[in-house]
Structure formats: structure tokens, C-alpha cells
Amino acid sequence: MAPAAMPDGNGYGMTIIEKILAAHSGAERAQPGQIVEAELDLVICHEITTPPAIRMMEQIGVTRVWDADRVLVTPDHFVPNKDIQTAELTKRLRRWVAEQGIRNYFELGQHGIYAALAPEEGYIRPGMTVICGDSHTVTLGAFGCFAAGVGSTDVAAALATGHLWFRVPETMRIEVRGRLPRGVYSKDLVLHVISRIGVDGANYRAMEWGGEAIGHLSMEARMTLTNMAAEAGGKCGVIEPDDVTAEYVRARTDKPFTAYRSDRDTQYVERIEVDASALEPVVALPNLPSNGRFISEVEPTPIDQVYIGSCTNARLEDLREAARIFRGRRVASGVRTIVVPATSRIWREALAEGLLATFAEAGCVVSTATCGACLGGSMGVLGDGERCLSTTNRNFTGRMGHPGAQVYLASPATAAATAVTGRITDPRQFL
């Protein structure tokens, strides 16, 4: 890894995010509350928020993106298209890609949920600045980069100029001691933290994760932590790059990168300490991600649908954990169970490992990569009064369908255990 712009302990007292924004705005330092205009390393586009940005660019006479090689595009929310409207959105995106000569395009069959596909294909490296018109862009901060979701207007500005302004966020530190126990995962950890701080507990802050427990997590598990910064109101999530990060990145790209770390004398706006060894599986009850409860405190509520997917928990590691529980077992009568790998590559890997066969034999439905069910769009929409236990990131009223439906959030292991019993179940009894 290339050395950071400023060594640790030099008196600057800057965080990872502050250093990245300073380096990308040509400044020696950046501090919370400051407005900076940062150069962007990557703009990610999908079929929902990009077509409006394209229209805005056309309205002001911008005919070319600033750098086609720094734009990544994939349809991921409604794949395959569910109706005429989504077909037209994707058609517009596809035509624009051809017009602009964008080579980093992942069409149906090679596509994936952007927040999983971008790092998987080697586009995300420590020290980068990355934006997308989607709140869960924060996922990519697991690699030690500044990654933020923005609106379509900002996407248009970014595509036109390669720059965007940001208010430098304050950083809060989440120190996680010990090791996660058997049957407890990063999803349980992040749900626990959000239950402590609330859905606005990190409002426009950077959530920086560290400590012994984080060092023992895979990159896939780390992405689950940073993904849900959005559910705490965070501007971004971030984890200091280490050997685990470098190994993942170097296996996918030979491009250089800069790994930043927070200075020892950094003054965080808040510090939160968590003893990982004391955690249990966590379930977030309706209708807030902050309604997290330890599984021992949750009633064995009957469930109509189990959903294993989304940018939060649909990577290969997640599918393996779910398959461990499904293997040799069947989905309970009356429970619809839907499994959606995050990318086409993960789908193929799961197929090769026999995971998809395990799901099918257990009575699950397996889909191609899509975000559809997470936002109540397709492939798992709920009806009035139905209950769903989901590995997604949000359970707000109406999030996955009818406002009268109820959504519970949990890890893939808890989801699989629940599918087998038909009620909210502690996965540890199957492990």
C-alpha cells in the first residue's frame, strides 16, 4: 500500500475521511464543517437515479461526461425489467452508455447490485472518492475510501465536471473489542449499534469502525457494517485499510492506492465501545432499523416471507451461512423464501459450490441479482398484514410493499433458521 499523505501522530489530528477529502481538494487539511470541492475518482450509475441526471445534463447543453473511464454503470434495481416504465429507464441508460463510449458497463447477465459489483470487479480501492445516486454507496467505505450517496442533480454535476462539493463530516469512532461469538455476524453488530444510537445517531457523520473484532472480519462482513451507516443517518462509513483489505483489492486490480489512517490524536465527535463477545443474534422489529433486540428478547413470531438478498447481505459469504442451515432441511409450510445473490458472479460461484441446489432443495426461490424487493418494487413485494424477515437494511412502513406489512431485519443465518421453523428463530440452534 502506498503511504498516506500524512503519517500518524504528526499533530494534525485528522481522520481517514478528512485526509481523503483534503487530498482530493488540493488542501493540506480538511476539518469538520468545512466546504470542499473534491475531485472524484469514480461515479457509479444505475437505472433509477441516472436517467434524471442525463436529462439535466442535456438541458444545460452538456453532451459528454468528463471522463468515461471513471464511470461505472449497471442496471440493478429492476432486473429484468418489471414493466414498461423500468424498461424505458434501462433502455435510456443503455443508449447513453453507447453514446458516451462508457466501457465499464455491466449488462444483464454480467450485472449486479452496484455496491457489491464495484468492489468485486476491482473498481474500489483505499483512498478513493466515490459517489452514486444511491444512499447505500456508503457500503464502499469498508475499503477505506470516501463513498457517499447523492441526488440525481449531484450525479449530473459529477458526470459533467468530475468534481463535487461536500461539507466535511464529523467522525464518530465505534471501537469493537473481542471477537464475535459463534452464530453472531456483522449484521447483528451493526443492528446492535444502531439500536443504541438511533436512526439519526450518526446524522451527517462519518462512522469509523475499528478495534480487534473488526480486524478479524472479512471484507464481505465489513461491507455490511458500512452499508448500514445510511440507516443511522451517516454521510459515510469507513474502516481503516489493513492486510485483509489489501489482499482483497490486489486480487482484483493492479492499480495503486493510498491507505489513510486516522491520527492517534484525532478528536472524534463521539466514541462508542462495544464488547463483541457479549453480543447475541439481533433482530430489528418493525418499523425502524433502530428497533434492534437480542434474539432472546424476541417473541417467536410467525413469518410469511423470508428474504435473503440486497446490498447488505447477499454476498457469497452470506449465502454460505444461509446454506449451512438449509442443508438437509426444508422451508416451513406456508413460508415463501426468496434468495437473491448480489451479483451475477456471485450467482455463478454459488451455483458452482452447490449453494443454489441447496436452496432449491430446501424449497427456496432463487433469483438473478436485483434490488427490487428491498424497496418494494418487485421480486418479493408484501401484501397487507404480511410479515417478512429480511436481510435488507430498512424496515420502514411500506418499505417492502403494503404499508400494512411488517418487516423484521436480521442476518442471513437468522433468516434461514426462521425460514426452516416458520417463526423468528435463533440460528445458533442449527449451528
Give the pLDDT score at 371.
Answer: 92
Give the pLDDT score at 345.
Answer: 97
Residue ranges of domains in the chain = 16-168+235-255, 282-426
SS3 of the chain: helix, strand, coil, percent, to 5: 35, 20, 45
pTM: 0.94
Alpha-carbon gap, residue 160 to 232, rounded angstroms:
31
Give the pLDDT score at 24.
Answer: 98
Q: Which residues of the chain have pLDDT under 50?
A: 2-11
Give the pLDDT score at 9.
Answer: 41
Q: Tens digit of pLDDT for each residue in 406-431?
A: 999 999 999 999 999 999 999 999 98
Extract the C-alpha cell encoding 87: 424498461
Residue 142's closest CA among 87, 214, 44, 205?
214
The answer to whether 16-168+235-255 and 282-426 have equal CATH topology is yes
Looking at domain 16-168+235-255, its CATH superfamily turns out to be Aconitase, domain 3 (3.30.499.10)
Q: Which CATH architecture has domain 282-426?
A: 2-Layer Sandwich (3.30)
Q: Tens digit of pLDDT for each residue in 30-61?
A: 999 999 999 999 999 999 999 999 999 999 99
Give the pLDDT score at 110.
Answer: 96
Contact in structure between 322 and 308 (CB atoms under 8 Å): yes
Give the pLDDT score at 7.
Answer: 41
* Bridge partners, residue 84, by sequence: none
Give the pLDDT score at 203.
Answer: 97
| Residue found under cell 417478512 | 388
Count Cα neighbours of 313 within 13 Å in the Cβ-side half-sphere. Answer: 32
Alpha-carbon gap, residue 64 to 66, rounded angstroms:
6
Give the pLDDT score at 101.
Answer: 97
Contact in structure between 292 and 191 (CB atoms under 8 Å): yes
Secondary structure tally for the chain: helices H, strands E: 13, 17
Give the pLDDT score at 6.
Answer: 40
Cα dihedral angle (421, 422, 425, 429), rounded to 10 degrees?
Answer: 10
Alpha-carbon gap, residue 379 to 397, rounded angstroms:
18
